Amino acid sequence: MKFNCCLAGLMMIGLSAVAQESSTTDSAAEAAEQMKIARTNVTLFRIQDVETGADIERIENPVLRYAEPVRGPTHGTVWLWGRKGRPAAVLEMIREANRQDWFCFHATTDTPIKLTAKTGQTWTPKSSDLKFKPLPDAPPPADSPAGRMRQMKEFSRKFSSHEIWLNARHEMRLLPAPLHRYEDLDHRLLDGAIFAIVVGTHPEATLFLEAIQPVDEAKPTWQFAVGRSGAAEMVVYYDDKEVHHLPHIETFPPSTNSYWRMVLKVGEQDGNK
């Protein structure tokens, strides 16, 4: 009897291990398939500098990948355009329950840009909604890149936020690791990083932290700005004091808006609507 019990127990452990391995394999295969879809979808878009007509290069790989089983299931990626300095545009791309794809853009430069999609849509933001402000009571930027990164991570932990959506308050959190880091010494930008502000795993906003050398000041200083990745009302705090407020906007704002969305049903991505 003991032998049979032990055998049954071993069989159950074996079956559990097989099921776990199968589940892991399925998850890895699904993630790979979703990444393949995202890479194909992002090639729908071309972004140009309006004044020069030059293409703005997209950073090759997504700076964030996530899955959200609660509000979906959804799979998302975040992409950036602009290889030097502060990116010109941010895209959050979401596949929703394999039914449709959402594309949520926000402009991060006041230089006029134009997006054209192979599916016919255009986006021509008049300017960026990023409004940089001095970071309250921040010490001077450190001399080394490693020191400045330590500072940015310390600053990021002092930010908190929430959003109001469908008359309910949802607490947000800042992902601890930056999505992207950049500099542009030609424009007196010594260092910068982008952090994601999320609900669950889903990005709703972006936080920009930058060390700059103002023309009229002897020492460099820190500044910050918040960009939206969602349409909800959002409130951002630093050291428990409100420092930024993003009002609720319509789900599909005009194509001249700094934040813009488009949606395609699965199958429309080839342009055959």
Of the listed ranges 49-58, 64-73, 77-86, 202-211, the one predicted with least confidence: 64-73
pLDDT over 60 at 273, yes or no: no
Query: Would you say residue 16 lies in a domain?
Result: yes
Lowest-confidence pick of 70-79, 103-112, 190-199: 70-79
- Closest to 225 in 3D by CA, of 248, 199, 206: 206
Six-digit token string for 7: 């055998």
Same-domain status, 165 and 31: no
Q: Please tell me the predicted confidence (pLDDT) of residue 71.
A: 64
Supply the pLDDT for residue 11: 39
For residues 25 and 133, membership in a common domain is answered with no
Judge whether 270 lies within some domain: no
Q: Can you tell me the distance from the alpha carbon of 60 to that of 249, in angstroms, rounded to the nearest whole number?
A: 30
Are 206 and 129 in the same domain?
A: yes
Higher pLDDT, 272 or 187: 187
User: How confident is the model over 22-41, as a mean pLDDT?
Assistant: 79
Residue type, 93: M
Dihedral angle sign, alpha carbons of residues 262, 268, 269, 270: negative
What average pLDDT does the segment 175-187 reach? 96
64 and 78 in a single domain? The answer is yes
Has residue 180 been placed in a domain?
yes
Residue 216 lies in a domain: yes
> Would the pLDDT of 272 be above 70?
no
Q: Are residues 196 and 215 in the same domain?
A: yes
Q: What percent of the chain has pLDDT over 70?
A: 88
pLDDT tens figures, 117-137: 999 999 999 999 999 999 999
Q: Are residues 48 and 22 in the same domain?
A: no
- Structural domain includes residue 273: no
User: Which residues span the domain enclosing 2?
Assistant: 1-39
As a whole number of angstroms, the distance between CA 202 and CA 76 comes to: 8
Q: Are residues 4 and 134 in the same domain?
A: no
Looking at the domain assignment, is residue 182 inside a domain? yes
Residue 27 has pLDDT above 90, yes or no: no
Confidence of residue 268 (pLDDT cuts 50, 70, 90): confident
Range in 58-72, 207-221, 252-266 with the lowest mean pLDDT = 58-72
Is residue 271, in this structure, part of any structural domain at all? no
Provide the pairing of β-strand 159-165 with 233-238: antiparallel
- Mean pLDDT for the chain? 89
Q: pLDDT tens digit string along 157-169?
A: 999 999 999 889 9
Indicate whether 64 and 159 sit together in one domain.
yes
Of all residues in the chain, the percent with pLDDT exceeding 90 is 76
Q: Are residues 123 and 184 in the same domain?
A: yes
Q: Same structural domain for residues 14 and 110?
A: no
Residue 124, C-beta contacts closer than 8 angstroms, at least 6 positions apart: 50, 112, 113, 114, 115, 255, 256
Pair 10, 56 in one domain: no
Q: Domain total for the chain?
A: 2
Domain assignment present for residue 29? The answer is yes
Neighbours of 143 (CB within 10 A): 10
Q: Is residue 94 pLDDT above 90, yes or no?
A: yes
For 26, 194, 251, the CA distances from 262, given in Å and listed in that order, are: 30, 23, 10
- Give 32-47 pLDDT, tens digit per residue: 998 999 999 999 999 9
The verdict on 11 and 144 lying in the same domain is: no
